[in-house]
Amino acid sequence: MLLVLVFGNQAFTEWVVRHTDGHTVWGWFLRILSWPAWAFGPTDSSSGAMRNLLAQDLRAILLVVFVALVLGISAKSATGGGAFVLGWASLIFGSALAAFLTTFIAAGTSWLDAFGAAAAGSAYGLFVGWIVGAGVAAGRGGS
């Protein structure tokens, strides 16, 4: 949840777009890190802006819910390296599923858009999930 709150907020995501270059490793990673973007209001006045905002905000919420569900169901049985992999995989699956489902809320979407969104979500999970994996492993190591 902290990753979504800290790196997905509107101020951070706008800063990343304005101040980083997506063609550098650091800029690319910061853009991946800000993928579960959420906002309080639409950034433009185009048609469908509210639907897009709803889809974006719901995606961030569902990401947290899906990861919590996976970890809540299976984290007790994982220890050590298994807990690390479980935390990492939960973010990959949770972000892909959240992106896939919420794509259909946004204006003018198709199945191809949903598959592309799921791919972007799984990329977020792949490159950021190690942070969740480390947290889960550290939490299981202390209990």
Asked whether the beta carbons of 83 and 136 are under 8 A apart, the reply is yes
Cα angle 43, 47, 49 (rounded to 5 degrees) comes to 35
Quote the number of domains for the chain. 1
Summarised one tens digit per residue, pLDDT across range 111-131 is 999 999 999 999 999 999 999
Distance CA 129, CA 143 (A): 22
Q: How many Å apart are CA 82 and CA 33, to the nearest integer?
A: 24
Instruction: Express each pLDDT in 60-86 by its tens digit.
Output: 999 999 999 999 888 777 777 888 999
pTM, rounded to two decimals: 0.83
Q: Which domain holds residue 114?
A: 2-141
Report the C-alpha gap between 90 and 125 in whole angstroms: 8
